[in-house]
């Protein structure tokens, strides 16, 4: 069964950087059609998509609010998904979640739709102060 665990969150000042990691069970990467993503959520707001990667082809997607600042990548040898966050802003403050989907046709779904993913980590908090 797929297991995901996020790490790397913390408190930083505006303009700083953080790198989030999502460690997945080895079995997760035996499925070449995996779709994975980073979401974030603040109180009173829906969980929103931040960035996504299709593990088979490495195609990436980003929310407009993070384009040019965040980079999603993967290291299959380490069974890990990353989110490099640069030039952080106070509005980036949120709980960040790692999500994954094993369906072979996951590439046909909307990358930023929470319903597109069936597996979720527990989240890691990111706080950006001004």
Specify whether the CB–CB gap between 22 and 6 falls below 8 A. yes
Compute the Cα dihedral for 53, 22, 104, 57 and give only its sign: positive
pLDDT tens-place string over residues 44-88: 999 999 999 988 788 999 999 999 999 999 987 778 899 999 999
Q: What percent of the chain is predicted at pLDDT more than 70? A: 92
**What mean pLDDT is reported for the chain?**
91
Specify whether the CB–CB gap between 55 and 75 falls below 8 A. no
Residues 86-96 have a mean pLDDT of: 98
Buried b (16+ CB within 10 A) or exposed e, 76-110: eeebbbbbebeebeeebbbbbbbbbbbeeebbeee
């Amino acid at each position: 069964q797929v297991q995901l665990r996020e790490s790397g969150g913390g408190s930083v000042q505006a303009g700083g950087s953080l790198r989030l990691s999502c460690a997945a069970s080895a079995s997760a990467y035996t499925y070449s059609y995996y779709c994975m993503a980073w979401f974030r959520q603040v109180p009173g707001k829906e969980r929103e998509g931040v960035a996504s990667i299709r593990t088979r082809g490495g195609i990436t997607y980003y929310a407009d609010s993070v384009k040019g600042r965040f980079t999603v990548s993967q290291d299959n040898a380490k069974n890990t998904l990353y989110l490099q966050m640069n030039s952080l802003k106070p509005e980036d403050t949120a709980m960040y979640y790692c999500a994954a989907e094993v369906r072979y046709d996951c590439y046909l779904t909307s990358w930023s739709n929470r319903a597109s993913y069936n597996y979720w980590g527990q989240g890691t908090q990111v706080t950006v102060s001004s």
